[in-house]
Structure 1
Amino acid sequence: MKKLLLLAAGLALAAPAATAQTTAATPSAATPISAGQRKAAEDLLAATDSEKNLTATIDRMLASQLEQNPGMKVVEPEMRAYLTKYMSWQSMKEDMVQLYAREFTEKELKELTKFYQTPTGRKTITKMPQLMAAGMEIGQKRMQEHLPELQQAIAEKMKTQAPGGEVK
């Protein structure tokens, strides 16, 4: 059960990164967006194949997690149902439109869309899921390689802690 919760948490945290390329905080619902800005955001998300890329990223992440934890295969249908309900393009589209419309001006959105319609932009869209997956693998490898360092630091810190969290 603990592995299932970790898998769900990992998927929930990683999936939005597949389409949201900004690192800004969650936009405020109080900030109104214009109809033109909304349309420009929708056009950008369509030009970047956001729906297709989000679906492919979720599929890859789930397959990777199931490969790493074969015992979780039995709950794959439940995980897919959960991801479809909460992480699918249909469930996230409006939030993504709002996010992009608040982070970029209408002019910027149109410029981005224009770029993604160029050969270099199309190549970027095609390569981005592979690059993101490879980047995540690099990060995971680096974390695993240096995990003993973190474990040692935590163990040393815990030795100095009294019961209840006070420093000795």
Structure 2
Amino acid sequence: MTDATQDPTPVLQGERGEPLHALSEQRELLLITVRGITDAQAAQRATASDLTLGGIVKHLTRGEQVWMQIMTTGNGKLPEGMLDMGQYRMADGDTLAGLLEQYVAAARTTAQAVSDLRDLDRSVPLPSTPWSPPETVHWSARRILLHLIRETAQHAGHADIIRESLDGSSTTDRR
């Protein structure tokens, strides 16, 4: 495994590089937040929310996997596990190190998928979900990346609050 505090996103230029760089920055904040915690701490609920640090890493990993599948296949089908609520918590046998390996792999897959695109204007149909409007919605690859940036930033903030609740440490303390 690569160092869990290092996002493996390659440096790309132009329209692909900027959103990947922004996503990488948000991943880095999350990776700093989970640095030095145990598996028990990663699975521990520390706030009124059911979210845990390990659950956040697992969810963001699954999110990148799902959105890259949606973006690259362009078939509008619901990826397996997209709505699985188990993605929000560590399962028996999960380790933080294992979850981080999967997160790093998902980041590499995202970078490769984006670098393989002709441009970010590629439009794909979104899968139908219980909250979808009745008509098919299309998003560009650019909008999918913006969604991943927002989702990662939101959960990195949640993770920082959880970490502070666990041991009083904040992201700025761990940089």
Confirm or deny a common fold (TM above 0.5): no
Query: Structure 1 length as normaliser, TM-score?
Result: 0.26
TM-score normalised by the chain length of structure 2:
0.25
Higher share of residues assigned helix: 1
